[in-house]
Structure 1
């Protein structure tokens, strides 16, 4: 039987690319999205397209039931990927914006993972792979909601890895830096939805934020294509002993090292200067 994999957040970018590549490699891929146009595209490339809204526990439950019905109760790999970024200074973030960030980036992942763990326990094996971020290792200005969701994900995943250590279920984190995707476009929409620029102390900085998020291409020389994440995902899926963490892009390697060796004040100085 083909290995089965569930990937959340496959409308574009990392999720879409990984779903396509795994489907071509012979996996039975269940790829989730919300918009019908995205679901239609996933069907067109050969995936099982499943509607899932990460902020809606009922949607997650229905999607998992549909997948398990199609696989006779089997699932080998879960790749949690669906996420978005909510920009804005911490003092300007409505608490509701923080709730929405955590609903999609953490609580939905937890809901989905809890439904899949019993399946993998019955099988005696499985892979749970979490797509985190360099911003789960270090914080950057005006990304407080996203930083917080990814720091929380790191802690939850580390705990899960310890608790499942003798179960046959491997738990891995992938930690990318900048990857070419629709992430900035979606972040700009979230920014305009929740941040009151006119009444903010950070107006000047927000002009830079809007310019960065509005650009058609990332201005970072370190931006990689989604294939960089796929390579890490492929190893996490296929290796007999996958890594606990996979760093992707040079900034992730650099900041992971600096976090370990620099005093907090020195690291803060570098992060304040970064954007």
Structure 2
């Protein structure tokens, strides 16, 4: 059996890095990407084919796809869209430019990369596209509106794409993690400080609680899992003859999926409002 190839984004840390290293050890030909040049060098030092890809820069997306196809002879078995960040802050405090930046990275960049890969998979007659969404892709929480909106958009795009590709032998799948121990909080804190005027906001008191949470080196949320738990779901999505359409990772994700299906919206709101 020939070696399967996969392109993974957001591999500098966390979920992407664990997936890249695990799949490489499992025998896949992994093409790992990161936004910063120094992270690409680190990935290369770990024995991976690594490229610089910034979802907000379409030239880097096109360049990466071209380089991957050059190395594989024009084929690609799998794509794992993973790189993303969260922009915290109440929506009334959020500059529209910050919301646009959130969508540039979390939605539009993913769409551009996926759009470039689909013709390759159509031509070869098979492929799987796995999107790393979130529990916040189907339920909302306060002060996470920009991230909520980007992941809701991603889920809508993914569901539509699955229908449009149903006859192309290309599976389009979602992984929906809850709390995972990664550097997501550190990156979110940078985005918060860059765009939110906490001192002059009516939400100042709540923002101080949010900053304490984001400044923690590890997640304090209950039922937090590790990146390997997402990788296990990814492996099933790649290797199962009949993969799930949605992989819900962590207890909170599974619980919220049930509650959203069973509870009236006002009841669910009262639970989500407690954080």
Alignment of 1:39-78 (within 5 A): 39-78=40-79
1:224 match: secondary structure: coil
Q: Deviations over 1:48-88 (max 9, x none)?
A: 01110100111101111111111110100000000000000
Is the partner of 2:85 in helix, strand or coil? coil
Secondary structure at the residue paired with 1:241?
A: coil
Deviation of the 1:37 alpha carbon: 2.3
Instruction: Work out the CA distance in 2 between the residues paired with 1:163 and 1:88.
Output: 35
Match of 2:200 in 1: 199
> For residues 200-253 of structure 1, what are the alpha-carbon distances to aligned partners after superposition, in whole Å with 9 as ceiling and x for unaligned?
110000000100000111111211000110010000000111111000000000
The question of 1:8 aligning with 2:35 is answered: no
Corresponding residue for residue 29 of structure 1: 30
> Does structure 1 residue 147 correspond to structure 2 residue 169?
no
Residue correspondences, number: 274
After TM superposition, list the pairs within 5 Å mapping 1:152-171 onto structure 2. 152-171=153-172
Alignment partner, residue 240 of structure 2: 239
Q: Secondary structure at the match of 1:273?
A: coil
Structure 1 position 21, deviation (Å): 0.3
Tell me how far 1:39 sits from its aligned partner: 1.1
Partners of 2:58 and 2:170 in 1: CA distance: 23
**Match status 1:110 vs 2:111:** yes
Structure 2 length normalisation: TM-score?
Answer: 0.99
Q: Tell me what 1:222 maps to.
A: 223
Pair 1:180-2:181 in alignment: yes
Matches of 2:218 and 2:177 in 1, distance apart? 17
- Structure 2: any 5+ residue segments left out of the alignment? none
Deviation at 1:163, TM superposition (A): 0.6
Give the secondary structure class of the aligned counterpart of 1:63.
helix
Secondary structure at the counterpart of residue 175 of structure 2: strand
Name the structure 2 match of 1:271. Answer: 272
Shift of 1:40: 1.7
| 1:101 lines up with 2:67 in the alignment | no
Q: In the alignment, does 2:131 pair up with 1:130?
A: yes
Runs of 4+ in 1 over 6 A off after TM superposition: none
**Equivalents in 2 of 1:237, 1:47: separation in Å?**
19
Q: Could you tell me how far apart the structure 1 residues matched to 2:214 and 2:63 are? A: 34
